[in-house]
Amino acid sequence: MTTYTNFTVETDTDGIALVTWDMPEKSMNVFTAEVMDELEAILKATVADAGVKGVVFTSGKSSFSGGADLTMIRGLFSLLHEEQAKDPQAAKQKLFDVAGRMTWLFRAIETNGKPWVSAINGTCMGGAFELSLACHGRVAANSKSVKIALPEVKVGIFPGAGGTQRVSRLANAQDALQMMTTGQSLTPQRAKAMGLIHQVVEPGELVTAAKQMIKDGLKPVAPWDEKGFKAPGGGVWTPAAAQLFPAAPAILRRETAGNYPGALAILKCVYEGLQLPFETALKVEQRYFTQILGTTEAFSMIRSLFISMQELGKGARRPAGVEKSEFKKIGVIGAGFMGASIAYVTAAAGIPVVLIDRDQEAANKGKAVSEKLVADSVAKGRMTKEEGEKLLSLVTPTPDYQTLADADLVIEAVFEDRAVKKAVIEQVEAVIRPATIFASNTSTLPITGLAENSKRPDQFVGVHFFSPVEKMMLTEVILGEKTGDRALATALDFVAKIKKTPIVVNDTRGFFVNRCVFRYINEAYDMLIEGVPAAMIENAAKMAGMPVGPLSLNDEVAVDLSQKIMKASIADLGEASVKPAHMALIDKLVNDLDRRGRKNGQGFYDYPPKPAKKSLWPGLKDFYPQKPAAEVDVDTLKQRLLVTIALEAARTVEEGIVTDPREADVGSILGFGFAPYTGGTLSYIDGMGVKTFVALCEKLAAKYGEHFAPTPLLKDMAAKGETFYGRFDPYGQGRVAA
């Protein structure tokens, strides 16, 4: 056996070398410069050793590999920015060479003269699947844990280590484009049906089956290196391709509004590459990959959706020196939909949870939410019957507060009413241990005010979940004025345990996400009042990169909730805090027309019985005189919707609510889908330059109102040529807590 830092190589009596990738002190294998150096050395050694007849490549971990390492990706961008300042042309050449390192290493494996088989035992993503595609044989385990994907488009780039060329030569072009432009995960069975892998075998037989392929005489030549090779479906110059390729850019534009350069590059790579010899096609892919790496979109998306999301998920904001929490039991108060869903994700993480409500019947109703979610998962094959039963056994519905006596953490998720929450806090604190942390799930009420009802405000923290809890990946952890480090650490440990991404924000009305969301919705109210047709508002939002239009979003969160929030603002902050025209619009919808949103089947949209789809309510156009569509500038609508949200995010930084730009960016994308191609709210500003953003704000303020006026912080940053990531550097200040 030969041992490397990240690999072991063991050659059996048949001359088959088993290369096992198992990186020390990492939960998942990832590509680093060292891994590629070692892989190159292994390739040379196996080629030189006459006793080696073939190679089986597998992982020593439960997953295969997640692709590229954070530090390697960050290094690429550092290289680009440093070198560009010195010599832009040389920087491009250097980036081209670095970007091609993986491409040509994998090509060397493919043409080494000895058969390689990839034995895929678990998650196989990105560069790891591109390596597998360069092997001559691919075997995957028949297991739910095996997910095969080229998800690079989701972080602004594309499969640039041969992925676009090999997938489009193994699968038909339509399936290949669908897989790569969406970044979708494939089951082993689907990957086999597409022609991307050769066999699916039981997990225990994986390596044996891979070795058998070599014993059976697997040719060490890729199909495209054989004479007379034709791509599935016949390549580009066929009747089928004549239908596919002219339509593909239009379909992509419909889905992405042209906001994702990486997705368009996939189409170009496949279309051009299929007309060229394979190695020339790899160079074309390498050129496009270098070009995409240089875009603002790629830089911003990778920073937020890859690097920052992982850093926050791993506890970047966790206070140092606080012992890690062990959760033996968690209490959830309030068995309504939100509390019931929090109980479900807690049990899904393997933690026993007591779900408390006023009586046994109400508590049982809460558990029924978990029962339905489990039944759906079992029906869809995402969970076995036994797994479902185990999960449900961890949820105990009860009206008895005494069951909280040994809880490590109690989460309150009762009605958004200060008096109701005060009563719950007092009841809970009467029975819990001195060390237990209390978390309030509230979407609008300031935590400091709620903590005044607690005898131990240092152990009181806000944890704001988003609905539906089981699907939404973000959680806001809110610090009251007296919240201590242990309460923060416990909340972050819990969020990590249930596999959500946390952002830590200081206390304010609406915290971070809801403040931004309601600016988005309020801008739509302004547009409606101006006479902009509702359909144009919704379509402009989608063209700007938002997943749903503001009116549709308002229906989802409930129109009468908007009314309650406006009334609460007026009660607490005075009449000037809400525009009278906004209040009149919402009062008319709720009080006069009973249009409360999706929940009662009518809001800004009508919701007919399924399978009919929702449609904008025609009566909306009679509220205000309508502008002709030709008089409305769609680009301005797009700018207004994005700028008003980004401006609110900048205000939260200026007010000290958000102290880390990573959290504003990740929170805005995960919380309400802020145009992901921008990298998030602050990256949107940094991406265009603060000076340009300020000028845009001033232009919009002159025409559409003072709420677009740039803040003193933004003006100061524009004058100094600063960025948010420069001025509020999350790495250089050594901060862990707000």
Peptide bond into 434 cis (omega under 30): no
**Contact, 737 vs 319, CB < 8 A?**
yes
Which of 136, 198, 464, 707 does the annotation list as catalytic? 464
How many whole angstroms from its chain centre is CA 298? 15
Task: DSSP letter for 303, please.
Answer: I
State how beta strands 16-21 and 7-11 pair.
antiparallel
Question: Positive or negative, the Cα torsion across 280, 284, 289, 294?
Answer: positive
**Contact, 137 vs 218, CB < 8 A?**
yes
Residue with tokens 């062990």: 326
Two tokens at 349?
Answer: 């993480």
How would you class 609 by CB atoms within 10 Å of its CB: exposed for 0-12, middle for 13-18, buried for 19 or more? exposed
What does the alpha-carbon distance between residue 458 and residue 480 come to, in Å, rounded to a whole number? Answer: 8
Residue 2: strand pairing partners: 9
Q: What are phi and psi of 140, to 5 degrees?
A: -120, 150
Two tokens at 483?
Answer: 């919240």
CA angle 475, 479, 484 (to 5 degrees): 120
Residue whose C-alpha is closest to residue 527's, from 549, 547, 509:
549
If one counts every other C-beta atom within 10 angstroms of the C-beta of residue 23, the result is: 20
Task: DSSP letter for 358, please.
Answer: S
If one counts every other C-beta atom within 10 angstroms of the C-beta of residue 433, the result is: 10
How would you class 473 by CB atoms within 10 Å of its CB: exposed for 0-12, middle for 13-18, buried for 19 or more? middle
CA atoms within 13 A on the CB side of 152: 30
Instruction: Give yes or no: 464 in active site.
Output: yes
In the 3-class helix/strand/coil scheme, how is 238-258 assigned residue by residue? Answer: CHHHHHHHHHHHHHHHHHHCC
H-helix or E-strand containing 85? helix 70-86
List active site positions: 464
